Amino acid sequence: MLHKPASAGFFMPAEMSFRAQFLPLLQPFRPNVITQWNFQRWRRSQYGQRPESRTGPAGQAMGKIIVDAAQMAANEQQKGLILVVEDESIIRDFVCEILADEGFSTHALESADEAAKFLDEHADRVALLLTDILMPGTLNGADLANLSGNKWPQIPILIMSGHETPESSGVQHSVTFIRKPWSFGQLLDGVDKALESGKALQTRNAP
């Protein structure tokens, strides 16, 4: 079984916003996660209007984006659900915040074992499996990718890891891969690529 090296501990004051906690603490250990602090990306809108330019990570630099339950349900119905599997909470929460800012609905879990159970019950809701490789538990991310590819081949898979690759960890299915530390653009481009590969697969398999 693959094991992840122990991560450095972080002290995060409760009164600090999530982004304020994440950026200063993460940069000394993963300095390239933020390759462009002020970057512009054309945002895809679920409502069909022209994309708008945005500056800063996950929307406006320190603004907290609140999405109510009705909007989240609408996002999931339109774009599908992204299942995020990552054992490091600071990365898991940050990924979900970035994706929510792009109009995606997410469900976050901290282990591949939990994700396998979720897929058994809700695979029809999942539009994309986004998983780390090295995680504690019976299954790691590579095992989860193989399980998903065998049982639910219609679900595209995006793998992110700084220690392994899909090939070195034994992934047997076609997946999209981004290496940690990633930039915002690399994460979002990886999601786009994985979703497009899923659409292409469905088109090929259509009667």
Sorting pLDDT into bands at 50, 70 and 90, what band is 199?
confident
pLDDT at site 60: 47
DSSP 93-131: HHHHHHHHHTT-EEEEES-HHHHHHHHHHHGGGEEEEEE
In contact, 143 and 166? CB cutoff 8 Å = no
Residue 76 has pLDDT above 60, yes or no: no
| Confidence label for 2 from pLDDT (cuts 50, 70 and 90) | low
What superfamily would CATH give domain 18-205? Response regulator (3.40.50.2300)
Least confident of 24-28, 132-136, 195-199: 24-28
pTM above 0.85, yes or no: no
Average pLDDT value over all residues in the chain: 75
pLDDT band at 206 (very low <50, low <70, confident <90, very high): low
CA–CA dist 69, 67 (Å, integer): 7
Amino acid at 142: A
Task: Give the residue among 129, 132, 133 at the shortest CA–CA distance from 155.
Answer: 129
Region 129-139: what's the mean pLDDT? 97
Residue 28's pLDDT is 42
Please give the pLDDT value at position 79: 74
Q: What is the rounded radius of gyration, in angstroms, for the C-alpha atoms of the chain?
A: 17
Residue ranges of domains in the chain: 18-205
Q: 152 versus 22: which is more confidently predicted? A: 152
Give the least confident one: 8-17, 36-45, 102-111, 143-152.
Answer: 36-45
Whether pLDDT at 132 is above 60: yes
